[in-house]
Amino acid sequence: MSTEPIGLARDLAPKGVMRAQIGHTDIAIWRSTNGVVSAWENRCPHRGMRLSHGFVRGESLACAYHGWHYDCSGKCHYIPAHPELEPPSTIRPSIYSVVEQAGILWVNTIADADPVTLPKDLLSIRSITLACDLPTAIDSFSSAAQTEVSLFNGSVSVFSQQPSILSLSSPDGADGIFILFQQPYPHRVVAHVLANNLYQANDLIALSRWCESVRRAAEQNTQSSNAPASSL
Amino acid sequence: MSGYEHALKYWYPIAMANELAEGQTKHTQLLGNDIVLCGNNRGSADVRTAGKPLLVQSDYGHVWTTLSDDPHPLFSIPEASEHGRRFVPCGVVRVSCSPLRAVENFLDIAHFPFVHTGILGSEPHTEVYKYDVNIDETADEVFATNIKFFQPQASKSAEGGIETEYIYRVPAPMAAVLYKTCPPKPEYLDVIALFVQPLDEETCDVWPWMALYDDTSSMADLIQFQQLIFVQDRSILENQMPRRLPIDPGHEIPTKADLTSIAYRRWLKKRGAYYGAFEGI
């Protein structure tokens, strides 16, 4: 499994907790009050509660069920039902490698996270979730970009295969927009959209709306191709 | 005997008493089987699965049925016939979790400050003091006694925080009865029972029922109080992985506060009550 882009770093504020999925691995990602990001198996070892429902206190993530506190290394250091107890060091969820680069949170559940190198100074625009499979999502953005002349010059290239990243050229011919795809589940794709800093505010608003229109088209294509023949 | 065959021998709640008007039908499930109820003129219902009539009894405010022709008798709750108590069926909460997870959560006190914050618990009163758990060999039930916990709003009738005493009883794999300090009458114990209807191994309908000393709260307020508690619990129960209850040690890590849960899992295992249990590695 490659290093996957699971979210925009901007969307995970200090004390925030997110959930992601890579393959069959359910992941909790959280940022401590001081800004340290951690990505863990999404399951409290005590009673199996998803840690993505937990809450951050200082430099700890606490489970929503019984408040067990885990520090940034994953070690459980406080069990509220037994305030005097020093918890055994074996109580910890599995830890995954996570890095922030180019405004993206990159996670690898097997090895050290090794992100694709993107150009500097990209703006994080948004993440958008599409109810379709990965080829449909990529095709939809790719074909829509070729006819959207006010934002792009029609040139679309594959920047990376694994993970899937499209590069769309801006009207001046530069690498304008990057769209990073991640598929958490079958028929569910998250697209993270980054733009170079030459776009104006109005263009970025138009870009965000364009992403919505691509999502609708992709989901409609998926629905009509899944519909039984009699309803066509 | 499989977990399913074991589970067939018990009674389960499938409706509240007087829920169905005469002739009114309702469809539900029990252990993966489709069940049809038809209200009769006795406040109960005629119950069938695949056309076959099933045994029915009315007790503790509910209509109970069983898929067995020779079931274990329904457990006894002596307080259900005590004068002066108000009997409060609280409706139903559907939860996407194993019926065993629902029972185990009901037996847990350490979550009160975090899940029922400001009601059944609050920080910094999080410590679970030593308590006792026994298997009553005669009745073959799990008992947890000598539990004390600080509660900001122990019940609808409570005025301010009190140290509440708890006794838990597990009379059947999918039922639990709680006895707790009655705030207006500290010398008495309120009874709150959790009757679980297993729709299948990963979905259940939970029917709370209470027998309280409370002459002032309205029925609606009493029910709303319990519904709030169970909806809070549902947010936990639907996010525990795996959905089925791991019965073998090693998959989850308990502490001393979990003695009741440990005893419950052992008791389930000993009797082969594997319906809703996680049997993976």
Q: CB neighbours of B143 closer than 8 A, spacing ≥ 6?
A: B133, B134, B135, B136, B167, B168, B169, B170
B262 in contact with chain A, both atoms CB, cutoff 8 A = no
Query: Which value does ipTM take for this structure?
Result: 0.96
Digit-coded pLDDT (tens) for B209-231: 999 999 999 999 999 999 999 99
Position B99, amino acid? P
**B178: Cα separation from own chain's centroid:** 9
* Nearest-CA distance A34 → chain B (Å): 24
Confidence check: pLDDT of A124 > 60? yes
**A107: Cα separation from own chain's centroid:** 9
- Indicate the helix (H) or strand (E) that contains A142: helix A134-145
Record the tokens describing residue A135, joined without a space. 């080829």
Indicate the SS3 state at residue A85: coil
Query: DSSP letters of B222-279?
Result: HHHHHHHHHHHHHHHHTTBSSSSEE-STTSS---GGGHHHHHHHHHHHHHT--TTEE-
Contact B240 A49 (CB under 8 A): yes
- Region A208-227 average pLDDT: 90
Digit-coded pLDDT (tens) for B32-63: 999 999 999 998 999 999 999 999 999 999 99
Record the tokens describing residue A103, joined without a space. 């405004």
Res. A228 pLDDT band, cuts 50 70 90: low
pLDDT at B183: 87
Distance CA B261, CA B142 (A): 10
DSSP 8-state code for residue A38: E
> Is it true that the peptide bond before B99 is cis, omega within 30 degrees of 0?
no
pLDDT at A222: 87
Distance CA B12, CA A63 (A): 33
In the beta sheet, which residues pair with residue A62? Answer: A55, A69
B146 in contact with chain A, both atoms CB, cutoff 8 A = no
- Region B161-183 average pLDDT: 95
Q: CB neighbours of A64 closer than 8 A, spacing ≥ 6?
A: A49, A53, A54, A55, B114, B115, B235, B236, B239
B21 in contact with chain A, both atoms CB, cutoff 8 A = no
Could you tell me which residue, B183 or B180, shows the higher pLDDT?
B180
On whether the CB atoms of residues B174 and B8 are closer than 8 A, the answer is: no
On whether the CB atoms of residues A65 and B115 are closer than 8 A, the answer is: yes
Distance CA B135, CA B126 (A): 26
DSSP 8-state code for residue B76: P
For chain A, the average pLDDT equals 94
Could you tell me which residue, B203 or B188, shows the higher pLDDT?
B203
**Nearest to residue B30, comparing CAs of B238, B269, B172, B201?**
B201
Classify residue A196 by burial, with Cβ atoms within 10 Å: 0-12, 13-18, 19+. middle
Digit-coded pLDDT (tens) for B53-105: 999 999 999 999 999 999 999 999 999 999 999 999 999 999 999 999 999 99
User: What residue of B is the nearest CA neighbor of A63?
Assistant: B114
Digit-coded pLDDT (tens) for A169-198: 988 878 889 999 999 999 999 999 999 988
- Region B193-215 average pLDDT: 97
* Nearest-CA distance B128 → chain A (Å): 5
CB-closest option in A64, A65, A81 to B255: A81
On whether the CB atoms of residues A118 and A167 are closer than 8 A, the answer is: no
**Nearest to residue B198, comparing CAs of B266, B148, B111, B273?**
B273
Confidence check: pLDDT of A1 > 90? no
Res. A149 pLDDT band, cuts 50 70 90: confident
Q: What is the longest distance spanned by two Cα atoms in chain B?
A: 56
CB-closest option in A42, A67, A85 to B114: A67
CB-closest option in B236, B254, B255 to A64: B236
Distance CA B251, CA A179 (A): 40
pLDDT at A231: 42
- Region A69-95 average pLDDT: 97
Classify residue B2 by burial, with Cβ atoms within 10 Å: 0-12, 13-18, 19+. exposed
Q: Which residues of A touch B (CB under 8 A)?
A: 26, 42-43, 45-50, 53, 62-67, 79-83, 85, 91
Res. A229 pLDDT band, cuts 50 70 90: low
pTM confidence score: 0.94
Res. A225 pLDDT band, cuts 50 70 90: confident
CB-closest option in A49, A80, A91 to B126: A80
Record the tokens describing residue B53, joined without a space. 């009539």
**Nearest to residue B246, comparing CAs of B200, B277, B214?**
B277
The string over A49-64, giving b where at least 16 C-beta atoms fall within 10 Å of a residue's C-beta and e elsewhere, is bbbbbbebeebbbbbb
On whether the CB atoms of residues B146 and B163 are closer than 8 A, the answer is: no
Could you tell me which residue, B138 or A79, shows the higher pLDDT?
A79
